[in-house]
């Protein structure tokens, strides 16, 4: 199979030599429409529509730190499956995660979304079986729609990064702007659908969307609370509870997203807390500039881990982390086809000096594609 390098530059070449914006939009519309295999929404049958779903992401990463260097060009994510809307507002989704870095025959990793749901309107989205358990700012944002090349390190430390767990949840937005989510999930995310040897965790979110009241494009505040039964077989993070306060503000070309979170650790995991500030500016419909500041502090030594690519250089933990990020996103077809670039400076302090120190720069360039 051709390497990630081949596809990365092939896709980048194709999308950067697109014709006029109107022609490109029409071409993208036509291409994405081919993935909707059936649309009988006005009919009386059981199946109202059926579409292929998935995402494809590739990264070029270059990191240079005091402790070493790392560079690679790799497949970040590939997921593929389907979504279908059924009669009486029932929905079903089945999607698998595939690792294209592996040799042919070993690509399949696990199921991600594998649920049946009932979605009669904005006020209720009910899901059963395996689906995303999202909390914190970036943990509740799909990787399809992140404003940065990677989730922030607060989410990486506090959120349950396996993401997809078997359980039941309900979410929605009421007429008064109140938003809610409540769910109970198995703490052991089996590769398929199931409840294995681990225990459980609960997720509760309450928010308020008051955009219309302030006459802003977006004005949202949300409080998340996670309680987890302390079971060493849970494949999550070792926190008995996590609380976070998220806000999202947008008006005109400007926006600001924030996250203030804390977790009470158990076992060898220390209590930690963190803050994220992420302002952004859209200079046009196509080009967006993003900045981010992340700060994390651990009550005890070795309570914090580094981000995905930083861990390729330093795998041990520290106790205080800060990061500055500056990025640019170019949208060829909205969030469905975009080119993301980010320059990051990260620093981890390690007061006990046992191998967790890190200080360095990293640059990531990534292609992000998703369909339905």
Counting residues of the chain whose pLDDT is more than 90, the rounded percentage is 84
Rounded to whole angstroms, the Cα distance separating 307 from 138 reads 13
Q: Are 152 and 138 in contact (CB under 8 A)?
A: yes
Per-residue pLDDT tens for 305-352? 999 999 999 999 999 999 999 999 999 999 999 999 999 999 999 999
In this prediction, residues 15-24 reach a mean pLDDT of: 64
- What is the model's pLDDT at position 198? 85
Q: Are 157 and 106 in contact (CB under 8 A)?
A: no
Using pLDDT thresholds of 50, 70 and 90, give the confidence band for residue 194. confident
Hey, where are the domains in the chain? 4-371
Is the pLDDT at 27 greater than 50, yes or no? yes
Is the pLDDT at 1 greater than 50, yes or no? no
The CATH code of the domain at 4-371 is 2.40.160.10
Per-residue pLDDT tens for 225-237? 999 999 988 989 9
Residues paired with 125 in a beta bridge: 171
pTM of the model: 0.92
Least confident range from 41-55, 214-228, 246-260, 289-303: namely 41-55
Is the pLDDT at 81 greater than 90, yes or no? yes
- What is the model's pLDDT at position 204? 98
- What is the model's pLDDT at position 348? 98
Per-residue pLDDT tens for 151-191? 999 999 999 999 999 999 999 999 899 999 999 999 987 77
Is the pLDDT at 4 greater than 70, yes or no? no
In this prediction, residues 256-280 reach a mean pLDDT of: 97
In this prediction, residues 12-40 reach a mean pLDDT of: 78
For residue 118, report the phi and psi dihedrals to the nearest 5 degrees.
Answer: -130, 120
In this prediction, residues 1-16 reach a mean pLDDT of: 57
Q: What is the average pLDDT value for the chain, to the nearest integer?
A: 92
336-370: string of b/e by CB count within 10 Å (b at 16+)?
A: bbbbbbbebebbbbbeeeeebbbebebbbbbbbbb
In this prediction, residues 82-98 reach a mean pLDDT of: 96
Rounded to whole angstroms, the Cα distance separating 63 from 48 reads 48
Is the pLDDT at 116 greater than 90, yes or no? yes
């Amino acid at each position: 199979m051709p390497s990630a390098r081949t596809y990365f530059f092939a896709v980048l070449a194709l999308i950067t030599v697109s014709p006029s914006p109107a022609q490109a939009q029409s071409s993208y519309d036509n291409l994405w429409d081919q993935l909707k295999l059936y649309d009988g929404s006005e009919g009386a049958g059981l199946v109202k529509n059926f579409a292929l779903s998935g995402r494809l992401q590739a990264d070029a990463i270059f990191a240079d730190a005091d402790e070493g260097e790392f560079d690679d060009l790799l497949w970040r994510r590939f997921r593929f499956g389907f979504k279908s809307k059924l009669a009486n507002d029932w929905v079903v989704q089945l999607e698998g995660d595939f690792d294209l870095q592996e040799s042919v025959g070993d690509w399949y990793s696990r199921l991600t979304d594998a649920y049946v749901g009932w979605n009669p309107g904005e006020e209720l989205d009910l899901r059963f079986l395996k689906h995303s358990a999202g909390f914190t700012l970036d943990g509740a944002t799909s990787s399809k729609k992140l404003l940065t090349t990677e989730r922030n390190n607060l989410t990486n430390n506090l959120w349950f990064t396996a993401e997809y767990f078997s359980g039941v949840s309900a979410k929605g937005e009421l007429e008064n702007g109140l938003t809610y989510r409540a769910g109970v999930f198995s703490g052991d995310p089996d590769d398929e659908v199931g409840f294995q040897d681990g225990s459980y965790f609960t997720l509760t979110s309450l928010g308020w969307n008051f955009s219309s009241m302030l006459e802003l494009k977006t004005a949202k505040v949300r409080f998340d609370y996670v309680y987890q039964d302390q079971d060493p077989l849970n494949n999550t993070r070792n926190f008995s509870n996590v609380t976070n306060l998220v806000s999202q503000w947008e008006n005109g070309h400007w926006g600001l997203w924030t996250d203030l979170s804390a977790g009470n650790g158990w076992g060898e995991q220390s209590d930690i807390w963190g803050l994220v500030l992420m302002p952004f500016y859209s200079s046009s419909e196509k080009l967006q500039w993003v900045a981010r500041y992340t700060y994390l502090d651990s009550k005890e030594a070795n309570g914090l881990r580094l981000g995905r690519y930083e861990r390729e250089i330093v795998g041990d933990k520290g106790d205080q982390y800060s990061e500055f990020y500056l990025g640019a996103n170019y949208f060829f077809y909205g969030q469905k086809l975009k080119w993301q670039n980010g320059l990051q400076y990260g620093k981890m302090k390690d007061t006990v000096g046992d191998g967790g120190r890190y200080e360095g720069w990293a640059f990531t360039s990534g292609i992000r594609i998703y369909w339905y």
